[in-house]
Amino acid sequence: MKHVVAAFLFLAVVLASPWVFAGDQGYGLQWQNETGGWTRSTSITADGSLIAAGSTDTYVHLFDQSGERLWQAKTSSYINSVSISDDGRYLAAASDDTNIYLFDENGSTLWSYDIGRKGVSLVSISGNGAYLAAASDHPDDMVYFFNRNMTMLWRYKLADTVTALSISNDGGRIVTGSLDTNLYSFDRDGKILWTFGIGNVAPLGVAVSDDGHWVAAGQGYFNLTLINDEGVVNWSVETAGRVKQVFFTNKDSEIAVFTDTGVLEFYSINGTALFNRSVANRINTLALSADGSKIAAGFDKPNAGIYYYRLNLSQSNNTLPVTPKITILANSIDLDLAADFIAFLRNGGVEVESTSAANFEGYKNREFIIILGGPDAPEGVGGIVQNVLTGEEADTIREPGAKKMYVKPDVWAAGQKIVVLAGADRNLTAETHLENRDFLIGEIGSE
């Protein structure tokens, strides 16, 4: 189970009914059960055998994988968030009655803690069940951290509404997203390890890897970013849909992104797009098993209940084709001169993104990168080229009339391909990609 929760600030695009799938690929509905109200949050054990749901009916519900309701526990107001430990022995809930609840596997209340302020909006329990983090509504905007025995170890006030919350398997890393568009990473003692401004939109999906070494964060506007445990961006990709939730799967080797298109997009830990799997439209909240094969979901209003999906691996076509994608690094002049080249690639079915040297750190682990310009290119591109090429190769580009293409594997990431297209001046660089574009589109298509 990935201990990820998010406060959704928008509704998904309304498309047909929740039982309409994007074709017959991906996940199939196994069962549906009632919760007595709108399901605001779901959570699932690592193996997908137990499913928790929090509802506006004021109850916390627990189901087994066959859809049988094992128990339900009442609170004094509707449930905003639920989170279950990997083995299902502990289930935490955040209620609008200002209480945080911890239940055991039989539905007995181990404890409840009244924060005495605004309602509790989010909760996330560590995989081992030893710690839990919670967040309160605006304008309280507080993050709380407890051990399993109800001892509050620390609390911290953020500058604005807490939009997302995730905790590592051992509780050693806690990451929150805020409406102030920042991510905050805490250790178990409440020390802020780093903050990161993710952009102009608040992070709506945040996930911490089980070992706490990685943080995956998604914005509401088509972006997924991977950050290491020092707060440095490893890579950033553009997603096909608006990000709603993010998960680490398959022993942290993959990242799954659920978007408003009703599709889970899967990426490798290196940022390579792997495949897409359809689920359903109009999902409000989703939980994913550790191997990514089982889903517990709740839908947008007015649809009540809990829905359980399983991946049908017997279908040979259970994944959707991934569009080839390349990243172009260039200075502003060379990028302007490459307009026809970029149009050629896009007409050939290639997805093209571009970046400057100043922003390259977030793109350097992409699978296929084309660099336009030589070792003396302006705006910082030349310095990057010098790190890719040998001194002899760089000097060859500087020769009068030179037009060169160099292909370099595994420069910043395993399985990566870097292509340098450069001439002795900007016009010769433009001629270089014109002369080699047919070769390049063949190379991209073979990836």
User: Which phi and psi angles does 196 have, rounded to 5°?
Assistant: -145, 125
* pLDDT higher than 50, residue 317: no
Six-digit token string for 324: 């080839």
pLDDT (0 to 100) of residue 300: 74
pLDDT (0 to 100) of residue 351: 85
* Average pLDDT of the chain, as a whole number: 87
Six-digit token string for 360: 């390259």
* pLDDT higher than 50, residue 12: no
Query: What is the SS3 string spanning the chain?
Result: CCCEEECCCCCCCCCCCCCCCCCCCCEEEEEEECCCCCEEEEEECCCCCEEEEEECCCEEEEEECCCCEEEEEECCCCEEEEEECCCCCEEEEEECCCEEEEEECCCCEEEEEECCCCCEEEEEECCCCCEEEEEECCCCCEEEEEECCCCEEEEEECCCCEEEEEECCCCCEEEEEECCCEEEEEECCCCEEEEEECCCCCEEEEEECCCCCEEEEEECCCEEEEEECCCCEEEEECCCCCEEEEEEECCCCEEEEEECCCEEEEEECCCCEEEEEECCCCEEEEEECCCCCEEEEEECCCCCCEEEEEECCCCCCCCECCCCEEEEECCHHHHHHCHHHHHHHHHCCCEEEEECHHHHHHCCCCCEEEEECCCCCCCCHHHHHHHHCCHHHHHHHHCCCCEEEEEEECCCCCCCEEEEEEECCHHHHHHHHHHHHHHHHHHHHCC
Please, what is the Cα angle at 237 between 158 and 223, to 5 degrees?
A: 40
Tens of pLDDT, residue by residue over 197-252, are 987 788 889 999 999 999 999 976 788 999 999 999 999 999 888 889 999 998 89
Mean pLDDT of all residues in 70-78: 96
Ordered by start, the domain boundaries in the chain are 4-311, 325-445
pLDDT (0 to 100) of residue 200: 79
Q: Tell me the pLDDT band of 302, cut-offs 50, 70 and 90.
A: low
* pLDDT higher than 80, residue 344: yes
* pLDDT higher than 60, residue 24: no
Helices (H), 213-338: 332-337
pLDDT (0 to 100) of residue 22: 34
What homologous superfamily does CATH list for 4-311? YVTN repeat-like/Quinoprotein amine dehydrogenase (2.130.10.10)
* pLDDT higher than 90, residue 277: no
The residues with which 208 forms a beta bridge, in sequence order, are 215
Lowest-pLDDT choice from 22-31, 153-162, 167-176, 293-302? 22-31
pLDDT (0 to 100) of residue 1: 47
* pLDDT higher than 50, residue 196: yes
* pLDDT higher than 90, residue 145: yes
Beta-sheet pairing, 243-249 with 254-259: antiparallel
Q: Of residues 352 and 10, which shows the higher confidence score?
A: 352
Mean pLDDT of all residues in 383-399: 95
Q: Of residues 312 and 285, which shows the higher confidence score?
A: 285
pLDDT (0 to 100) of residue 428: 95
User: Residues 120, 94: contact at Cβ < 8 Å?
Assistant: yes
* pLDDT higher than 60, residue 10: no
pLDDT (0 to 100) of residue 177: 93
* pLDDT higher than 70, residue 322: no
Mean pLDDT of all residues in 83-95: 97
* pLDDT higher than 80, residue 441: no
Helix, strand, coil fractions of the chain, as percent rounded to 5: 15, 45, 40
Mean pLDDT of all residues in 365-376: 93
User: How far is 72 from 54, CA to CA, in rounded Å?
Assistant: 10
Mean pLDDT of all residues in 103-116: 96
Mean pLDDT of all residues in 26-35: 86
Q: Tell me the pLDDT band of 443, cut-offs 50, 70 and 90.
A: low
* pLDDT higher than 70, residue 8: no
* pLDDT higher than 80, residue 310: yes
Q: How many percent of the chain have pLDDT more than 70?
A: 89
Q: Of residues 414 and 97, which shows the higher confidence score?
A: 97
Is domain 325-445 annotated with CATH 3.30.379.10? yes
pLDDT (0 to 100) of residue 440: 78
Q: Of residues 316 and 218, which shows the higher confidence score?
A: 218
Peptide bond into 321 cis (omega under 30): no
pTM of the model: 0.67
pLDDT (0 to 100) of residue 3: 54
